[in-house]
Structure 1
Amino acid sequence: MAVTQGAAPAGRLAGDVVVVTGAARGLGAAIARAAAEAGAHVLLGDLDGPRADAVAATLVAAGHSARGTTLDVTSQQSVEASLQTVLEWQGRVTGLVNNAGRLIEADVVSLTEEQWDAVLDVNLKGAWRTTRAYVPAMIETGGGSIVNISSLEGLFARPAHVAYAVSKAGLLNLTRATAVDFGRSGIRCNAICPGSIETEMLTQHLEATGDADAAASDLIGRNRTGRLGRPEEVGATALFLLSGEAGFMNGSHVVVDGARGATT
């Protein structure tokens, strides 16, 4: 992947170096944009490397510092290559956002072992791979912040989402374990649990129901904000957790769901 770099403006993350996985679209792209606009140098990693490059190019065109790279979180070799890429580019890394995710819809009986493995290999084991690779490098240069993108389904289950829900629940305890094990080494690790956010993944889920409008209305009716969430709202939350403003938050999770989980 070609390096694309602009001048990072002053901001809440000025001079920080942030890596975002699954950054070519949806929440990952929104988080990468928020970090870049706040002054960070951002490496956008995604299985779709050309699309990650394209998103990075839009950030550079806007005067920010960004670079795209192909990143497959199911491959330790790919994860380690991404670490070397960011170290060669900026010399350090201060933030990691584990956002790469996969959803396969099936219940506990109909789900195949291959489908179970495919979802957990991305959503949970993928986050563990990147965390395992990046934490030593972050500690070596003074520590940093890790943000894991879990889900409201990490706290509550939805029908026919067993592998996704289990993976996102596991990600919450990976968050806690990382904070407990490395908090005194300068590592903060927190999670975000988004509700229904307007992303390509949600659109695909709604279309798969056969009546996307009705399915969207059902989701909207489950919260008390009266709409779906926007990717930039999750991006703003990630920006806070990456920043020093959240300096005493560690091992926590933040729910961004329009009060959906607060209702009975």
Structure 2
Amino acid sequence: MDKTIHEQWTCKFAKVKAVVVQLDELISRIKIDHKIQKTTEEPLSINIFTTRADAGEPKVEAPKSANYQSCVFGQDTQISWKFSGIEKSQVTWFFKGQPLPTNSRFQVTETDDGTSTLSIHQAELVDQGDYIARATNADGEAEARTTLNIVCIKPIINTNLDAAMQVTKDETMTLKIAASGTPKPGIVWMRGNDQLTPNNRIQMTTPTHNVDIYTLTILNVQPEDQGEYSAMISNVGGSLQSIKCKVTVSSTSS
């Protein structure tokens, strides 16, 4: 079979790719075409995702990973941070760089959306400082910090001492002053420039629960108990002085 003659007329047809007159050549051509067709029909695999090394690390779900928070002394407060990540994180809380143990005053709760909340019951001055929530998973860790400030309320005198008092010798004298503040203020009773201390004749009481009255009681009043009495009220927020109460001791009742 003349291959040249056939090539002359087949060249007019675009779909005719080749003229083969030998059996071995035909078989070889079929194998080549089969490989080309198989390669063309295989699905094209394209990776459209760029995988970052830190893609699974926890992340803080907040504009900033540090904030400031205040709480009034003696009140309850909460600190919350939300973390995200491909894998669920384990959150550990730290206070002043040390792991914070949970107890009756410190409790940690977590929700399914990745929020960890530290609850502080009846905040004290020693609770002031930096709290860190550290989220950790197999891919890494992330931290968020809250600086907690404990606010104290300076004492105020709600009811001051009487300006003057007359007491009969051998009777009982009681001075009262009402004051409040947070934390609860302490009191120092004075007679003139001398600080009074409790004994078998001098008794002092401080407020309990919601009562804000402080009392100074002197039993079996004697002439030497006469003088100007005052009280100094103070807490970590500040201090203030009461007015002076001039006590006069008479030998007989008027």
Q: Same fold (TM over 0.5)?
A: no
Structure with more of its chain in strand, by fraction? 2
Query: Which TM class, normalised by the smaller chain length?
Result: under 0.3
Task: Give the structure with the higher percent helix.
Answer: 1
Q: Which has the larger radius of gyration?
A: 2
TM-score, scaled to structure 2: 0.23
RCO higher in 1 or 2 (8 Å CA, sep ≥ 6)?
Answer: 1
